[in-house]
Amino acid sequence: MVAIGDNELVERYQGVRLDHTNKHFYRGLLDRELRLSRCADCGWWHHRPKPICPRCWSSNVEATPVSGRGTIHLVIFLYQGPPADGVDYTAGPHPVVTVELEEQEGLRFTSTVVGSPNDDIVIGAPVELVWIERDGRPFPVFRLATAPT
Ligand SMILES: [Zn+2]
């Protein structure tokens, strides 16, 4: 796989505020890999990306792939909202979930759930990461996990 340069990243993410701290996260998305910030000194994860570890203040923070497995921590259903590629609010409420990832208590990532009726999308449900295309780019979403995690 050819590494994606900064120029191509900026081109692919027009309208997104990229910087040297968050570029590793977005580059990961293009590679269909969810890379969140992890401190190489103390091992603490955080998201959104910050230049220093919020736990030990080390600047030795690395974008590190997560498993994508976790449980739904919070769920809301949007009856209206900002236009988003592939989201049709007239077809029914659009689920937005915050998932607590298995890597660390409190490490959370917000997206949507695909492939399940809204009634099944409940707090505590195990989920796993899958990828869809949105605005021509890979976009990380979740689906309800069939096997116990
Ligand atoms: Zn740290």
The Å distance, Cα 106 to ligand 1 centre, comes to 15
- Centre of ligand 1 from the C-alpha of residue 108, in Å: 17
Type and span of the H or E element at 101:
strand 94-101
Predicted local confidence at residue 1, as pLDDT: 59
Which of 99, 103, 105, 106 has its CA nearest to residue 140? 99
CA of 125 to the centre of ligand 1 (A): 30
Q: What pLDDT is recorded for position 3?
A: 77
What pTM value is reported for the model? 0.92
Q: 104-125, pLDDT tens digit by residue?
A: 999 999 999 999 999 999 999 9
Query: Separation of 38 CA from ligand 1 center, angstroms?
Result: 8
- How much distance in Å is there from the Cα of 104 to the middle of ligand 1? 13
User: Cα(127)–Cα(74) distance, rounded to whole angstroms?
Assistant: 12
CB 51 within 8 A of CB 64: no
**Six-digit token string for 111:** 């997206």
pLDDT at 20: 93
Chain position carrying tokens 């917000």: 110
pLDDT, tens digit (0-9, with 9 covering 90-100), for 1-38: 567 889 999 999 988 999 999 999 999 999 999 999 99
Across the chain, mean pLDDT equals 94
- What spacing in Å lies between the alpha carbon of 105 and ligand 1's midpoint? 15
Report the separation in Å between the CA atom of 137 and the middle of ligand 1, taken as the mean of its atom positions. 31
pLDDT, one tens digit per residue, over 73-111 is 999 999 999 888 989 999 999 999 999 999 999 999 999
Q: What is the pLDDT of residue 102?
A: 98
Among residues 127, 136, 130, 100, the alpha carbon closest in space to that of 32 is found at: 130
pLDDT the model gives residue 148: 53
113: Cα separation from own chain's centroid: 12
pLDDT > 90 fraction of the chain, expressed in percent and rounded: 89
Instruction: Say if residue 48 is preceded by a cis peptide, omega within 30 of 0.
Output: yes
